[in-house]
Amino acid sequence: LAKTRGRNGWCRYEPWLTEQAMERFELERNLRRAVERQEFRLHYQPLTTLDGRPFGVEALLRWRSSEHGDVPPDRFIGMAEETGMIVQIGNWVMQEACRQAQTWRKAGIDLQVMAVNLSPIQFLHADVVQQVAQTLRQTGLPARCLELEITEGALMQDTDHAEQALLALRELGVHVVIDDFGTGYSSLAYLRRFALDKLKVDRTFLQGLPDSASDAQLVRTIMQLGQGLGLQVLVEGVETEAQRAWLAAEGCRWCQGFLFARPMSATALAAWWPTDPPTQAIPDWQPQPA
Ligand code: C2E
Ligand code: MG
Ligand code: MG
Ligand code: MG
């Protein structure tokens, strides 16, 4: 019962409102003010080769609420989606991430990719392409440096829209990657149908590696599937040296995980990024145009 309250914006005290429901209502109220109060920040987690050399970053949203302290995205992104606030918040994220990427590039940081998470709500929005184009224009970031991460669910909700949006984004020069691959819809036909060229293996599959034979087989199969279809495959959630070694033996080239770097503030990222040019060329994460 308590779950249904709050969406239409009113709340009076009812004894049946559990403490948890009250907390949720408060969270939602404060989320509405978070943009204007400038409580959002972006953290950046390096995307690396298997030997830890960075070629890009993923922007990850952080909310420091004056009332609730640091609130993890898993606690507020869903709420922002249900209430529609994610469109405004997501536009801010894209703008800020692209601005930061262009600042870094001008400062000599060799960033091939700024990856930005797009909520299904944003992706299904009619003017998503226009929004992306405008952000690139305003920030000056080259389109090839922007990568949008969307989930399988976002593609499957309205496949005609998805197909058109992906083509238009490709036309702009922006890349789209399937995030959390393997956790969403089981239909694989869309991998052929849509203009996609990359996928990120969900980190839940990494957790049992290298000991779990079934997890190992799953990750191996996903990597082979991606490679067989000509997609670039990145594995997320690499935490241990044993996982890294296993992935290296399986021919994995790109990854992301706490083993190499955690998400960090813009200042920390700039200090962390290697200043020496790499001794070997970093394999190109951006697929070569066909
Ligand atoms: P995601 O897009 O799959 O992002 C990767 C998440 O995995 C991040 O969690 C990151 O900190 C975590 N991670 C990376 N490497 C490791 C590892 O080795 N071990 C473990 N245990 N975790 C690792 P975070 O920052 O808490 O974000 C959670 C999710 O919230 C994201 O998953 C994404 O779905 C969503 N999110 C974050 N920022 C945004 C945003 O700006 N917009 C939207 N729509 N969603 C966002
Ligand atoms: Mg992501
Ligand atoms: Mg992911
Ligand atoms: Mg995830």
Distance, in Å, from the CA atom of 89 to the CA atom of 80, rounded to the nearest integer, reads 8
> Pocket residues for ligand 1 (CB within 6 Å)?
45, 60-61, 72-74, 77, 90, 93, 117, 119, 149, 179-180, 203, 236-239, 256-258, 263
* Angstrom distance (rounded) from CA 3 to CA 282: 49
Q: Is the peptide bond before 210 cis (omega within 30 degrees of 0)?
A: yes
What is the pTM for the complete model shown?
0.92
Nearest-angstrom CA–CA distance, 240 and 290: 36
Tokens at residue 290, please? 């066909």
- The atom number, within ligand 1, closest to the CA of 258 reads 18
Q: Which two tokens stand for residue 82?
A: 């249900």
Residues 6+ apart with CB under 8 A from 145: 101, 105, 111, 112, 113, 114
Q: Which residues of 231-262 are buried (b: 16+ CB within 10 A; e: fewer)?
A: bbbbbbbbeeeebbebbeebebbbbbbebbbe
Residue nearest to atom 42 of ligand 1 (CA): 117
Pocket test for ligand 1, best of 83, 93, 117 (most atoms within 8 A of CB): 117
pLDDT in tens, the chain (290 residues): 444 444 555 556 666 678 888 888 889 999 999 988 999 999 999 999 999 999 999 999 999 999 989 999 999 999 999 999 999 999 999 999 999 999 999 999 999 999 999 999 999 998 999 999 999 999 999 999 999 999 998 888 898 999 999 999 999 999 999 999 988 866 677 888 898 989 999 999 999 999 999 999 999 999 999 988 889 999 999 999 999 999 999 999 999 999 999 999 999 999 999 988 777 777 788 776 54
Atom number of ligand 1 nearest to Cα 118:
44
The helix (H) or strand (E) run that includes residue 250 is: none
ipTM over 0.95: yes
> In a mutational test of the pocket of ligand 1, which residue from 43, 50, 60 has the highest number of ligand atoms less than 8 Å from its CB?
60
- The Å distance, Cα 290 to ligand 1 centre, comes to 31
Measured CA to CA, the distance from residue 136 to residue 216 in angstroms comes to 39
Q: Give the burial class of 8: count Cβ atoms within 10 A of its Cβ; 0-12 exposed, 13-18 middle, 19 or more buried.
A: exposed
How many other CB atoms are found less than 10 A from the CB of residue 283?
A: 12
Cα 202 to middle of ligand 1, angstroms: 10
Name which of 88, 87, 38, 85 is nearest 65 in CA terms.
Answer: 38
Do residues 129 and 148 lie in contact, with contact meaning Cβ atoms separated by under 8 Å?
no
253 Cβ contact list (under 8 Å, min separation 6): 49, 50, 233, 283
Per-residue confidence (pLDDT) for residue 21, from 0 to 100? 85
Cα angle: 23, vertex 25, 31; to 5 degrees: 100
